[in-house]
A and B are shown apart, each in its own frame.
Chain A
Amino acid sequence: MESFEPQDRSPSDEAAAALTVEQAVANLTHSDLSLRYYAAWWLGKFRVKDSAAVAALVAALEDESDRTELGGYPLRRNAARALGKLGDRRAVPGLTQCLMCEDFYVREAAAQSLGMLADASCIPALLPLLHGGLAAAQSVPGRPHLAQPYEAVMEALGMLAAGTDWQAEAIALIRPFLEHPVERVQYAASRAMYQLTNEPQYGDRLIQALSADDINLRRVALSDLGAVGYLPAADAIATAAAENSFKLFSLKGLLERQVDPSRSDLSADAVRLMDLMDRLL
């Protein structure tokens, strides 16, 4: 999930000129800050898994030169986002450090990327971001976000904490967020709770979210159901009031949990999901 942040600069068209991997890596320390910012984005976008690229991006997580008026770290944000896409666990210690960065968007990007890297060692650093529960989870005056990137943190814990020593603690910290006033935060909590407990009540909460008044919330719920692959949601997904493309992507997540490429036959549930998907084309 990309967050909108007004201070973020998007690469302009002329900057989008083709780079080589060597140039992009070199540009991460270029004197022109916008070239650094663009190179970090580019390496993630094109999933450059080169180890020099990973090392340069990890170094960029400690950048001090590129600052926004409000004290944000644009290059760190992009480096953290890129590292999630490269799948190299050498980035985990640096990203874990970023969870304590003063810039909200660096913390958010780090939490999202750590979730993708599937390395449980960052869990002790993720859990404190949920401390204080609902009382602490208020919006920051003058900013479009809450005190912490709760959605990203819970999403990461949902992916990483099941079956670890921290599972019970993660559940205890996440459960209160089911009652958070912001719906998206509730959904992120439901999704993580389902992943950590496998209890249908949490998947069912996401099904209910498919009837939300706001189409954006229905889209979030579709994406969450797809991410956890909650099979009982299949028909509700197919009939939700949202664009077919969102429903198709959600059902794909369900289908992927019902197919085993090593088996020669397809399960009845897999066939049923494909029938639903065919009709949405």
Chain B
Amino acid sequence: MTDLSVSSLIDAVEQADSPERLIQAVQSLAAARSELSIPTLIRALGFNNPAAAAAAVQGLIEMGSPAVRPLLDSLDDYNYGARAWSIRALVTIADPEALAVLQAAAAHDFAPSVRRAATKGLGALRWSLLPLSQQVAAQRSAADILLTVTQDTDWSLRYAAVVGLQALGLAAVQPTLRTQIVDALQQLAETESDLAVHARVRRAMVQLADVLSRDRDLDNLPLLP
């Protein structure tokens, strides 16, 4: 697709004069898969039109990492709806550049649904996009927030934190982080009074047990350069 035709698709979004035309125009722009469309797709998150926002999020997700920095730079602190869409896009793209923003959203966003999405997403970032030297620190920092969220009063956030910890434990580059996560889950299994969260903790421990035993087999080998 030429830059010229992308710019005419962008114009169509700017000039849409009915909700239906807006949705149509955002869908067409998203389908163009051009990096030039990113700022306009991000603006479409704030139009208070759920179908247009959903199409824009889909387009941004398909764009992947190039959309991350613009999304982070334009996070709308004053438009809750737009921010929620941005966080969802960042969670799905899963680029670790979004770590700090997802940590903040997981810890204290206004909406539980956004907190749940960010919490789960924190465990499932694509860590290998970072240089190995930074992966350890980034994973530790994600674990800190997840461990805090396991103490939240809302069961659904504790549940999401366990899901996040399971993913992070499986992806941990440092066996000591994995051990620390398993220890924390073990402690939760003893203290968690909610039946559903308790069941999810047990499930996470089963999932991590295999990897943990592999770590023990490798105990004497250096894992990191």
Instruction: List residues of A whose CB falls within 8 A of some B CB.
Output: 243-245, 248-249, 252, 255-256, 259, 261, 266, 270-271, 274, 277-278, 281
CB pairs A–B below 8 angstroms (20 shown): A243-B113, A244-B113, A245-B156, A248-B116, A252-B155, A255-B195, A255-B196, A255-B199, A256-B195, A259-B198, A259-B199, A266-B202, A266-B203, A266-B206, A274-B199, A274-B200, A277-B200, A278-B120, A281-B117, A281-B163
> A261-B195, A281-B159 are known contacts; what are 6 more A-B pairs with Cβ within 8 Å?
A244-B113, A252-B155, A255-B195, A255-B199, A256-B195, A259-B195
Complex contacts, A277 vs chain B, CB 8 Å: 159, 196, 200
Query: Helix, strand, loop or mixed for chain B's interface?
Result: helix
Q: Chain B 141-176 against A: per-residue CB contact (8 Å), 1 yes, 0 no?
A: 000000000000001100110010000000000000
> Does B119 touch A at the CB level, under 8 Å?
yes
Complex contacts, B116 vs chain A, CB 8 Å: 244, 248, 281
A278 to B196, Cβ gap below 8 A?
A: no
- Cα distance A249–B120 when bound, in Å? 17
Complex contacts, A244 vs chain B, CB 8 Å: 113, 116
Complex contacts, A259 vs chain B, CB 8 Å: 195-196, 198-199
> Does B70 touch A at the CB level, under 8 Å?
no
Query: Helix, strand, loop or mixed for chain A's interface?
Result: helix
B196 to A245, Cβ gap below 8 A?
A: no
> Does B39 touch A at the CB level, under 8 Å?
no
Nearest CB in chain A: distance from B71 CB, A: 20
* Number of A-B pairs, beta carbon distance below 8 Å: 44
Nearest CB in chain A: distance from B39 CB, A: 28
- Cα distance A244–B84 when bound, in Å? 14
Pairs of residues from A and B, 10 with the lowest C-beta to C-beta distance, nearest first: A281-B120, A259-B199, A252-B196, A281-B116, A256-B195, A281-B160, A255-B196, A278-B163, A245-B113, A274-B203
Which single member of B156, B195, B198 contacts A248 (CB below 8 Å)? Answer: B156
Given known A278-B120, A281-B120, contact A266–B163 (CB-CB < 8 A) = no
Interface residue ranges of B10-32 to A (CB < 8 Å): none
> Does B112 touch A at the CB level, under 8 Å?
yes
Complex contacts, A281 vs chain B, CB 8 Å: 116-117, 119-120, 156, 159-160, 163
Q: Look across to chain A and name the residue whose beta carbon is closest to the beta carbon of B156.
A: A248
Nearest CB in chain A: distance from B56 CB, A: 19
Complex contacts, A271 vs chain B, CB 8 Å: 203
Complex contacts, B160 vs chain A, CB 8 Å: 281
Q: Look across to chain B and name the residue whose beta carbon is closest to the beta carbon of A254.
A: B196
Nearest CB in chain A: distance from B82 CB, A: 18
Complex contacts, A256 vs chain B, CB 8 Å: 195-196
Complex contacts, A248 vs chain B, CB 8 Å: 116, 156
Complex contacts, B113 vs chain A, CB 8 Å: 243-245
- Cα distance A91–B180 when bound, in Å? 47
Nearest CB in chain A: distance from B191 CB, A: 13
Complex contacts, A261 vs chain B, CB 8 Å: 195, 198
